[in-house]
Structure 1
Amino acid sequence: MTSMRAMVQDQYGAPDEVLHLREVEVPTPAPGEVLVRVRAASVNPDVWHAVSGYPRLMRLMGAGLRRQKQPIPGLDMAGEVEKVGSAVVDFRPGDAVFGETHDRIQWTNGGAYAEYVCVPQHVLALKPENITFEQAGSVPTSGIIALVNLRKHIWSRPGQRIVINGAAGGVGSIAIQMAKAKGAYVVGVDHATKLDYLRTLGADEVMDYTREDVTRLDERFDLIIDVASSLSISDCRRILEPDGIYVMIGHDHYGAKGRRTLGGIPYFLGFMVRARFDRNLDKSWFETMEKRDALEILRDMIEAGQLTPIVGRTFPLAEVPSAIQCLQAGQACGRIVIVP
């Protein structure tokens, strides 16, 4: 085994113009890495950023000025350990694993859109036994985002009233299930075509954002999770309890707002500064979790039946550009997954 198929990116640009399926060498794991046979890899907004090169500031943050330093996109994956580096103690060949492929900024290619990828052992965990590789590959980034943003607020305070805006995507689908597992009352907000899906996830109420404004409800909530990043904190205060919290996940909408150089980074930085002084703004922006720890919590929830990863669509490796376009269109519920 010396070569493999991989989706390769030569430069920044539109996915259908800069991504090409090629035969490349199988990577060799470093001492602390494992070589994983990729069985599934998910598609998320960070992949679009890494491929398109927007916002341009990301290129100065380690991704690469003219092209990605790692030419193979993809960050989340699940698969089987093929080979281990000399310093690896946590895994052995044959283990089924899932996780992200690196612990750098999310807008950096991770090599997952290939038949094999080398991954540091500390960002992997054993795959839950009760789900498929496709489901496991859909979890890492979405699950970690949901967990980091929810655990502080609902783990110690079960039974809260929560709004999740943009609830049908990868992060929202997991957030609904996490909240319900902690006894929350959940209002899920998304497009009319996705409301039945939200009900299947356990949402107590659903709203079509094209026809209703959730911030005009005559109700009060303990927590608002704004996955779509389309609500304003001033509007949200109308429906927040005095000590309620607004959490913005941070979605840049694939450059639709035209901020191609800095993107939403200035706004997010300003939000983080305001959060230090505003009791209604989430302060978990300043908190992190070790990826292994987060993955093990997610695995426990999955194995306990509290969380079921939802795969909206699958695409073969050769159709990665189409999968990214499907993501941008916003039509799929749950996660889109690549199956090499």
Structure 2
Amino acid sequence: MRAVVQDSYGSPDLLRVAEVAEPVPADDEVLVRVRAASVHPDVWHVVTGRPYALRLMGSGIRRPRERVPGTDVAGVVEAVGAGVTRFRPGDAVFGETLRVNQWRNGGAYAELVVAPEDGLAQMPANVSFEEAASVPTSGLIALNNVPAGHAGPGASVLVNGAGGGVGTLAVQIAKAYGATVTGVDLPARLDLARVTGADRVVDASVTDVTRAGERYDLVVDVPGNHPYRAWRRILRPDGRYALVGHDHYGAAGHGLLGSLPRFAGLLARAVVDRHLSASVTLPPRQESLKTLRTLLASGALTPVVDRTFALDEVREAIRCLASGANRGKVLIAP
């Protein structure tokens, strides 16, 4: 089969398309014929090998342990392992190809890929393969950072970076829970925040919302472009701050550790600060994918797709994402 191959860390220009052996599903795995796979920031991290700490987290020290990039997929089941009970050949599915850590190559930029059964969900009939492939990683991140307890009816939620891949989904999830949502972003992406349901948008190039005086029950901070002490000023007494964090494709964060020290600092502070969560336990992925599927099927969640590139255009696709020129999700279609 044809697949994108990564032999070393570095520029996306090092990626190439080659013929490789078709993957064979293990007993608990599903073989999927890929119809679409998303390009998201974690892919950039693994392709470039930055921050260097990710190489110690399973990606591979000197070169990628797994050669084919990509983790988010939507496609049609080709075959199933002996222990798989939830899917059968012909099913349309979407989800993640990795079992745990996202900072690894997952094989999705190929004609065929294997994924664990619990990493997949049935595709709703009302969404396209491109829309479904846009959701897994960004959707799980958004879902985990928009707790229903702080974003229910009557709650006031601010999403910083509301026009990006995670931000547009966070806005829609908060709206589905019944919250009133303020979307903050730069001018070029404010329309995406509007179209995905933000009740109010704020131009970050004009207004510093951390000094605007309004208070919120939840702040979801995607870019991490203000220190926590600034966001704390606008949280209500029982409000919650959730940092998604973004190294801005190497322009921010530590070269060795990226944003990990910042997350560690917030986790340590959470012991004494009620605005922060001290929990590092996530709900089962299958349960979260079921929630995302329900939101997609109901129309409460509608991914915004910008461009779809062919396998041979993978270098251009990753550069498009890193440039910030995209207005919605960037996808690869074999």
| TM interval, short-chain normalised | over 0.9
Q: 2:11 aligns with which of 10, 14, 27?
A: 14
Residue 329 of structure 1 pairs with residue 331 of structure 2: no
User: What are the within-5 Å matches in structure 2 for residues 36-47 of structure 1?
Assistant: 36-47=32-43
Q: Deviations over 1:111-150 (max 9, x none)?
A: 0000100111111111111100000000000111111111
Aligned length: 334
Give the conservation status (yes or no) of the 8 Å contact 1:154–1:182: no
Query: When the two structures are superposed, what TM-score results if normalisation uses the length of structure 1?
Result: 0.95
Q: Deviations over 1:142-180 (max 9, x none)?
A: 11111111134346x322111100111111111111111
Q: What's the RMSD between the two structures over aligned residues?
A: 1.3
Give the conservation status (yes or no) of the 8 Å contact 2:148–2:177: no
Residue 5 of structure 1 aligns with an amino acid whose one-letter code is: R
Supply the distance in 2 between the matched residues of 1:280 and 1:151 (Cα, whole angstroms): 13
The alpha-carbon deviation at position 76 of structure 1 amounts to 0.4
Task: Name the residue aligned to 2:194.
Answer: 199
Supply the distance in 2 between the matched residues of 1:201 and 1:241 (Cα, whole angstroms): 25
Residue 135 of structure 1 pairs with residue 131 of structure 2: yes
Supply the distance in 2 between the matched residues of 1:321 and 1:275 (Cα, whole angstroms): 40
Task: Name the residue aligned to 2:105.
Answer: 109
Q: 1:229 aligns with which of 224, 227, 246?
A: 224
Task: Name the residue aligned to 1:50.
Answer: 46
Indicate the percent of aligned positions where both proteins have the same amino acid: 53
Residue 304 of structure 1 pairs with residue 298 of structure 2: yes
Task: Name the residue aligned to 1:119.
Answer: 115
What secondary structure, in the 3-state scheme, does the structure 2 residue paired with 1:253 have? coil
Moved over 3 A (4+): 152-155
Q: 1:179 aligns with which of 134, 153, 174?
A: 174
Q: Deviations over 1:47-72 (max 9, x none)?
A: 01111111111111111111111100
Q: 1:249 aligns with which of 231, 244, 250?
A: 244
User: What are the within-5 Å matches in structure 2 for residues 309-320 of structure 1?
Assistant: 309-320=303-314
What secondary structure, in the 3-state scheme, does the structure 1 residue paired with 2:147 have? helix
Give the conservation status (yes or no) of the 8 Å contact 1:170–1:333: no
Residue 122 of structure 1 aligns with an amino acid whose one-letter code is: D
Task: Name the residue aligned to 1:190.
Answer: 185
What secondary structure, in the 3-state scheme, does the structure 2 residue paired with 1:199 have? helix
The alpha-carbon deviation at position 258 of structure 1 amounts to 6.2
Task: Name the residue aligned to 1:147.
Answer: 143
Give the unaligned 5+ runs of structure 2: none
Give the conservation status (yes or no) of the 8 Å contact 2:163–2:191: no
Give the conservation status (yes or no) of the 8 Å contact 1:72–1:113: yes
